[in-house]
Structure 1
């Protein structure tokens, strides 16, 4: 393997980097002319399969599916920035039903259409990486259009590999390299990694963002994590240890009182967004969760506030056909346009050659005991600190 990839993978030692103890299947490698189409491998308690889709706007899109009969089925798309389409197990599906039904190939998307909202024409994933060169609502600065939520999610991976450890617990690692490289602009490259142990009800993301340019460059990231039925329903609730909550805009003000609870599908409900300041333990670790009405099922996201210091809650309880969904979104920024985030000092910067890591764990909660553990962790981190409700948005677009 070329020196370039050795450097990338060297940064990932300690979380299943390439080694003699893993079987490695390279599915895409643009530098070495490798491009595998339909592919499949099986092992004890798992199947991993890549399919190339055909027809409509999904022509040429690829989907990798990990299936564990006693655990989860996880689907992701290397064509769409290694975004996770859905995960399911124990009778619970994580993800949502977007009006966008196909796994849209980015070749059919113009991000600058609809005044910078073209990103929405492919939006249907459970987990979307919003960034990394910029994220947030669209804006135009000095003649340049900063389209909605950046370009990473609509960038096909330049390198894709599947690794399976040959020692217990036989973890599966799916890696993909996302390049945001533009002449005279930026050379940000992200090696993404999903790790899953067959039979488990959780999986991990470990992403390494590196600035390959000779100049420092800004970066932003929001892990837009989206969920709907059967967890999201009337009376569902969001829990997380936070010190402060504020409405994103004036429309969200009227939902501030009930910001942690949800309506059922509601026609003419416009999206409500809330900016949260998460609390964490002494190591910076925290957790956020969505629970259904009777707390019998849910989903939890663990992350580190030293890596991802802010949290956005997106409530879009519109009709089922329109897209009944909520988003739990750890990030370095809120969803305001990049100029506002820059003014408020939330846009970060990488020096030449510098890397930064992002680690998240997603867990499907399918019984009351699992949920009680999450509730206890939230309560322990929250402690006696009250949640401050700020009625005025922290910025205005």
Structure 2
């Protein structure tokens, strides 16, 4: 639909009273369940792609659909009202919705830890922070402007401590099945601030099913560095999704740390292809910004999910990153920019080109 809709838009301004007839952004507040009182925004691209931005969870994206097919994995909890003090131990998991995008950071990614610099819970504070929404951009058919998007500010701050601010813009084009995410992270404090960032992109059934191809290319090792890891070992095709596994019940999981293949300009692509559905999702990022890619596989019964996660570091925590001299320290006033593009793919040639990445 995305390939045929846009040419028609040239003729639509005399046939459409309101651009929402084709697509746009609708904001709302959840009024029931554990997410009660949480601000959200539904985005309809008009090309078949619809996704839900949870404004009060750092402008992360939870639900995402292409036509009748869900793209994202949703946890048992689903959307939970933000809990900014759930940053101890593994409390993060209690409010983890999964979803198409959960942002981890901004100063810590990895397991809980304590050292002389403080105590940090699993994957940091970001996803339990609310956004200060500063703009909503709707398409304007009369002028031919088909862009739509939202921009907001999320702050991870503490008095007398690190002061990080993220300015996020999520945008799409009416008639196209593409999500662009641009993040600008700024140290607004007067002392250096540690910085780690990981984009947890979680996909589930029906996009993820037995036989779905996981697309990435690069040098890798399993998180546990065990050559007999049950998933990430030389004799297993770990880029084909299996049936649900008893071995992944509860905390069962397997993870690979990847140094992704990239073009000379740093551009890298990974994603998923479900050949039976003729459906794929590509994830484009830049290794000059995000030099690592993580592949999480968790094939538990009723918790069937895999994630591809571009990141500044593997999820090893501040302490180890500091020891390895890989921890980013943002000077006062220093900024970092990050860009992601998530694209739904349905054309045969485009699916074949995405699949070729596994064999480059």
Question: Deviations along 1:207-246, whole A, 9 cap, x unmatched?
Answer: 000011122211010000000111211222212221x110
Find the counterpart in structure 2 of residue 7 from structure 1.
none
Q: Give the Cα–Cα distance (whole angstroms) in 1 for the partners of residues 84 and 126 of structure 2.
A: 15
Q: How far is 1:88 from its partner?
A: 1.3
TM-score normalised according to structure 2 size: 0.87
CA contact (8 A) 1:71 1:198 kept: no
Q: Give the Cα–Cα distance (whole angstroms) in 2 for the partners of residues 352 and 169 of structure 1.
A: 37
Q: 1:44 to 1:318 in 2, by over 3 A?
A: same
Q: How do 1:44-55 and structure 2 match up within 5 A?
A: 45-55=22-32
Find the counterpart in structure 2 of residue 248 from structure 1.
223
Q: What is the aligned length?
A: 333
Q: Give the Cα–Cα distance (whole angstroms) in 1 for the partners of residues 155 and 84 of structure 2.
A: 19
1:262 has 2:235 as partner: no
Q: Match for 1:361 among 332, 341, 355?
A: 341
TM-score normalised according to structure 1 size: 0.79
Q: How do 1:74-89 and structure 2 match up within 5 A?
A: 74-89=51-66
Find the counterpart in structure 2 of residue 192 from structure 1.
168
Find the counterpart in structure 1 of residue 103 from structure 2.
129
CA contact (8 A) 1:209 1:355 kept: yes
Question: Deviations along 1:319-339, whole A, 9 cap, x unmatched?
Answer: 12xx21101000001112221
Q: Match for 1:238 among 185, 194, 214?
A: 214
Greater mean deviation of Cα atoms: 216-225 or 342-351: 342-351
Q: How do 1:154-233 and structure 2 match up within 5 A?
A: 154-164=128-138, 166=140, 167-233=143-209
CA contact (8 A) 1:275 1:334 kept: yes
Q: How do 1:96-135 and structure 2 match up within 5 A?
A: 96-101=73-78, 103-107=79-83, 110-112=86-88, 116-124=89-97, 125-135=99-109
Q: Match for 1:285 among 252, 255, 267?
A: 267
Instruction: Give 5+ residue unaligned stretches, structure 1.
Output: 1-40, 383-397
Q: 1:267 to 1:168 in 2, by over 3 A?
A: farther
Q: How far is 1:264 from its partner?
A: 1.5
Greater mean deviation of Cα atoms: 116-125 or 298-307: 116-125
Instruction: Give 5+ residue unaligned stretches, structure 2.
Output: 1-17
Find the counterpart in structure 1 of residue 5 from structure 2.
none
Find the counterpart in structure 1 of residue 112 from structure 2.
138
Q: Give the Cα–Cα distance (whole angstroms) in 1 for the partners of residues 358 and 85 of structure 2.
A: 40
Q: State the Cα RMSD in Å.
A: 2.1
Q: 1:77 to 1:327 in 2, by over 3 A?
A: same
Q: Give the Cα–Cα distance (whole angstroms) in 2 for the partners of residues 294 and 285 of structure 1.
A: 28
CA contact (8 A) 1:247 1:274 kept: yes
Q: Match for 1:314 among 296, 310, 327?
A: 296
